[in-house]
Structure 1
Amino acid sequence: MRITEAALARGERPRIAVCGREAAEPQEQIARAVREMGGEAIALYGDLADANVPGKLVDAAVAEFGGLDALVSNAGIASPAKLCDVSLEEWTRMFDVNLRGSWLLAKSCYPHLKESRGTACFTSSMSGQLPHEGSGAYSPTKAALTMLAQTLALEWAADGIRVNVVSPGMTHTPMSAKMYADPDIKRAREAIIPLARIGEPRDIANVIEFMISPLSSFVTGQDLCVDGGFTKSILSHIPGRPSSKS
């Protein structure tokens, strides 16, 4: 929504395809809101675990709008478990959605982004930057997604296409809502975040907006962690302070 507002403020008329896993009200609501603000929007759906879906989504968006300026690949699923307890089915589905789906979207978007000299932004995770015990295949998929995006950034640079990654930290989302409903867990997590709060979806959206906007025209191949300073605070949790005194 902020992307739409920013585009309208610049005198542009944004055209957005909002995609979800299945036909549902949330993406329809977003599409309606964009249209009410003066933009154009369509709601699409499909499960990225199906290898045929990414290309169909891109084709539908291009058919509606005549081209593409930006790809935001945000789909992701999680299934916490010890790695030795993850089933082959769970492992495969996690990689199909979190990694292969983004790769196939990128492949389908490439000719259109090349024509527009556009940009792509992939949503990874701080769990793709640091190992996360008990996250199952989630950390491996997100680490691989970051490397996929950064490799694309190099391969596509000659075509004028920028590719970046946004890695959220602890954030309020539908997937995390149950956990943050526990006030003890919420307080404990806030206590270890330097900015002392859990992130909101708008915090992530703001950075994605920057990454796909002209404001970041000389930025590519970067992985920006939006975590309130948490991942850079790890040494602060060591008891005591280093000293040269004996």
Structure 2
Amino acid sequence: MPQRFTGKVVALTAAASGIGLSAVRKLASEGAVISASDLSIDALKEALGPLDLSEDRLMMRQCDVTDMQQVRAFIDDTVERFGQLDILVNNAGLGALADVTELEEDAWHKVIAVTLDSVFYACRAAMPHLVRTQGAVVNTASISGLFGDNGLFAYNAAKGGVVNLTRALAVDYARDNVRVNAVCPGLTATPRTAWMMEDAKIKAEYDSRLPMGRPGTPDEMADAIAFLASSEASYITGVNLPVDGGLTAATNQPQFLRMRSD
């Protein structure tokens, strides 16, 4: 296993499950010092305990990413504990399935707070430290931030904000040699999306639309995060990288060749 992150300190949000947990495993396996946060400290301890990282390579903190003071404290504690910050991975997100006439105002604000405000808070707190180390930010956006979805307008708006915030910060901090990029996952097999795969109609729809014929895995998203965070991507900034099995490469017109063969 290459050791691209030896000596690098990485702070991650929403690190106890799904893509965040896979990113922790990937980065730690390549030598990174990990500062991980999640809404539940117990979930973090349960998820990260098996990694068996020493105290000089792992810090865990409870953090509500919708609270700017908690986010700042998480970043400050990271730097105080390890002396620096090299990579920030913003991974928190929340959706709401509803028509625009149905969604309650509180639900709208919660989606925006978890998904978009959290990225602003973490970048605001982390950027001075990242300027000192000429570090990198990798945001978990979504293909839902690149296009619209049926019934997910709040999530689309929030992830669309992450996509353009990524671009804007990349421009602002390029001269400081801080790179800011995002991965844009498509359907990914995590506990949060299990309900989609358990619904026969939804699964059939995805099976017909995904060119690669399957959802992505959290490990595949983590691989993309690690690439964008690494020196191998040293001239890449402001990119929102779809990791979606070809879903956004298609026009969604009928599968003519498949239909002809049938």
2:37 to 9, 13, 19: 19
Q: Which deviations, in whole Å up to 9, do the C-alpha atoms of 1:68-109 show, x marking residues without a partner?
A: 000000001111111221111111111111111110100100
In structure 1, the partner of 2:184 is 167
Give the distance between the partners of 1:188 and 1:145, measured in 2 at CA. 27
The runs of at least 4 aligned residues of structure 1 exceeding 4 Å deviation read none
Check if 1:35 corresponds to 2:35.
Answer: no
Distance in 2 separating the partners of 1:139 and 1:27 = 32
Give the RMSD, CA atoms, in angstroms. 1.9
CA offsets per residue over residues 163-213 of structure 1, 9 Å max, x none? 001000011112111221234533431231111111110110000000001
Q: How far has the Cα of 1:223 moved from its partner?
A: 0.5
2:67 maps to which of 30, 50, 56: 50
Question: 1:2 pairs with 5, 23, 26, which one?
Answer: 26
* Alignment length (residue pairs): 233
- State the 1:133 CA deviation: 1.7
Q: Are 1:209 and 2:214 counterparts?
A: no
Corresponding residue of 2:246: 229
Contact 1:31–1:43 (CA<8 Å) still a contact in 2? Answer: no
Structure 1: which 5+ runs fail to align?
8-13, 241-246
Which residue of 1 is the match for residue 16 of structure 2? none
Inter-partner Cα distance in structure 2 for 1:27 and 1:180: 28
The 8 Å contact of residues 18 and 44 in structure 1, kept in 2 or not, is answered as yes
Return 110-119 or 88-97, whichever deviates more.
88-97
Comparing 152-161 with 80-89, greater Cα deviation is found at 80-89
| Contact 1:193 1:230 (C-alpha < 8 Å) held by counterparts | yes
User: In structure 1, what is the Cα distance between the partners aligned to 2:249 and 2:144?
Assistant: 13
Q: Distance in 2 between matches of 1:238 and 1:189?
A: 13
**Contact 2:37-2:44 at 8 Å conserved across structures:** no
Q: Provide the C-alpha distance between the structure 2 equivalents of 1:173 and 1:27, rounded to a whole number of angstroms.
A: 19
The answer as to whether partners of 2:63 and 2:74 remain within 8 angstroms in 1 is yes
Q: Percent identity?
A: 29
What amino acid is aligned across from residue 171 of structure 2 in structure 1? L
Q: State the Cα deviation string for residues 119-157 of structure 1 (Å, max 9, x = none).
A: 000011111111112014100000011111110000011
Deviating more after overlay: 39-48 vs 98-107: 39-48
Aligned equivalents of 1:173, 1:202: Cα separation in 2: 10
2:3 corresponds to? none
TM-score, scaled relative to structure 2: 0.83
* Counterpart secondary structure, 1:176: helix
TM-score by length of 1: 0.88
Q: Summarize the Cα distance change of 1:199–1:212 in structure 2 as closer, same or farther, 3 Å threshold.
A: same
1:111 and 2:128 matched? yes
Check 1:31–1:41 CA distance in 2 against 1; reply closer, same or farther (3 A cut). Answer: farther
